[in-house]
Amino acid sequence: MARKVRRDEHYTVVEPSYSYSYSVSPYGQPVARQKHRLTSFTEIRDIAGAVTILSVAFYFVLYTNDGRGIPFYLGLAALSVVAGFFIHEMSHKVVARSYGCWAEFRADFRMLGFALLMSFFGFLWAAPGAVLIMGNIGPKENGKISLAGPGSNLIVALACLPFWMFAISGVPDMVANIASSLYYFSVFLGAFNMIPIMPFDGAKIWHWSKPVYVATLLAAGLMLFIAFY
């Protein structure tokens, strides 16, 4: 999930307010794109906290007493969270920075606490926070930034699908189990974020391009169907 933030409200999530900028100045002079630092201690802290809490939550959803033990399921949960959540959020960040925006992840620890609580009932709630962005972008750029998150989830899921669904010669059962977990988590996270209501990515993709939204939603729906077929 990607959201836009004002500089004077560094920790406050706000609705996107679109603005436009010149590729050259009104006087015909090129305008240098502003450079922003890659990350900060706050972002690293929030990413680490979100990954840790989500991994524990997903562990409680995944765990079955089948003899493979806690380390196996905890490691599987952590790998799924990194491949799903982390890549999702960093995809937002990379695309936003390509447009010259400041972009950093901020965790929502209240929602992470809720996710942990819901995991005890076997349900994973995936709303751990958002990449906050600040810069001169319009609906098209904001839509592409938003699309990067669910798009990355579908790409990860597609990469895992052959190892899970098809009997590839020489692939150990453990690889198939890992691929299955990565597929489920990535598809669920991508489809969940396609809800066309603010502040989800789907609302901004819909505002930018309805055909792109419908195509992405259909792809996510098909892959979600495969996951539970």
Q: Which long-range contacts (CB under 8 A, 24 or more apart) does 73-81 make?
A: 76/177, 76/178, 76/181, 77/181, 78/51, 79/178, 79/181, 79/182, 80/181, 80/182, 80/184, 80/185, 80/186, 81/51, 81/54, 81/55, 81/185
Residues ≥6 apart with Cβ < 8 Å to 124: 57, 58, 61, 115, 118, 185, 188
Tokens of 173: 């059962």
Cα–Cα distance between 174 and 81 in angstroms, integer?
Answer: 18
**Catalytic positions:** 89
Residue 127: beta bridge partners? none
Cα–Cα distance between 131 and 90 in angstroms, integer?
Answer: 8
Are the beta carbons of 129 and 46 closer than 8 angstroms? Answer: yes
Residue of 188, 197, 83, 183 lying closest to 146 (CA atoms): 197
What length does the chain have?
Answer: 229
